[in-house]
Amino acid sequence: MFGFFKNELLEVIEWKESSKDVLVWKFPDKDSDIKYGAQLTVRESQAAIFLNEGQIADVYGPGRHVLKTENMPVLTKLKSWKHGFNSPFKADVYFVSTRQLTNFKWGTPNPIFVNDPEAGRVEVRAFGTYFMRVADPKKFYREYAGTSSILTVDELEDVFRGLVVPKFAEALSESGATAFDIYSQYSELGETIRPLIQQDLNDFGLELTKFQITSVSLPPEITDHMKQLAKLNLTSNENLNKMQAFNQMDVDKIAAEKGNYENMKGSRNDLMMQQMMMQQMMQNQNNNQNQNNNQNNNSNNNAGEKEEKMSREEIMKTLKELGELKEMGILTDAEFNDKKKELLAKL
């Protein structure tokens, strides 16, 4: 009786988070007993775990709970309260944050190797971010948090960074991604790798909600090779056909959304103009090349001078068309300058 009246009975149990850095927090009971019928408040993005003599009993999600026999089925069974109880009881209460934990950093301190069909075995360094949350509070407490009275987000990040990085290398290999895929398809590749890493996090009750690659570093010679390929693809017939198809899809989509025939007609006219300019530019380049070949094979000086004069006119015309393509946003400044330099060298 003396011990009972000495301890203050707990009537309200809740966790008002004062910092986003805390992931698990033990309710400070100060050796006090919990009053029968006490109020347990669990807020959104929280879960409350009750322990009886170190054993997990009941787990509560968001809401207001009255602690009675019918609301505590596991603890009632553990304490053998067959006919109910109306006296204080002892239990350890842990609160777990279930909100999404954002902006965890990951990176490959050492390069990983990717087999590329064109470049062979390529060294790759990658960096990015990932988001997680506690999906199963009971499993997370049992498999990771343990009996710590407080667990911070930083502790979780330090541990799982060591899991994510090597798993990224394995998942990258399993996905079959090439060096070009890593370099050009950040978002798509991140979504491909995420479920592969998730397999290891399931054992800890964690969910990997987002896995993102933010930067990739490739050897300089590989980067230069990809830039050259991009330049070649810019003026290829295949690339032109793809551009036409994608632009046509955009025009049709805009027209369908707006239901406006005049807008669709105007967009198609703009598209046709762009396509005609690209085709004309390619035709001029081919003509210039043929004329240069004719000049080298022609022994007649007068004819050669005439051909040279025609070649200059075509080059100037092509430069003008390139400038118009740059103004329309089809060519970047870098691509325009490269082509300009190449054409001026032929004058």
Give 205-232 pLDDT, tens digit per residue. Answer: 999 999 988 888 877 777 776 666 655 5
Residue 63 makes CB contacts below 8 A (sequence gap 6+) with 42
Predicted confidence band at 282 (pLDDT cuts at 50, 70, 90)? low
Across the range 241-256, mean pLDDT stands at 50
Return the structure tokens found at 170.
């394995």
| Beta strands 34-42 and 10-14, pairing class | parallel
How many C-beta atoms lie closer than 10 Å to residue 230's C-beta? 12
Rounded Cα gap, residues 209 and 33, in angstroms: 39
241 pLDDT more than 70? no
Q: What percent of the chain has pLDDT over 90?
A: 27
More confident residue, 122 or 221: 122
Maximum distance among all alpha carbons in the chain?
A: 124
More confident residue, 180 or 253: 180
Q: What is the distance of C-alpha 301 from the center of its chain?
A: 63
More confident residue, 135 or 273: 135
Comparing CA positions, the residue from 330, 339, 284, 337 lying closest to residue 311 is 284
pLDDT of residue 246: 47
DSSP string, 233-261: HHT-HHHHHHHHHHHHHHHHHHHHHHT-H
Across the range 280-294, mean pLDDT stands at 60
Rounded Cα gap, residues 154 and 142, in angstroms: 19
More confident residue, 268 or 21: 21
Q: What is the distance of C-alpha 3 from the center of its chain?
A: 57
Predicted confidence band at 316 (pLDDT cuts at 50, 70, 90)? confident
Write the DSSP symbol of residue 298.
Answer: -
Give 65-106 pLDDT, tens digit per residue. Answer: 999 988 899 999 988 887 778 889 999 999 999 999 988 988
pLDDT of residue 57: 94
Domains of the chain: 12-76+87-97 (no CATH), 101-218 (3.30.479.30), 312-346 (no CATH)
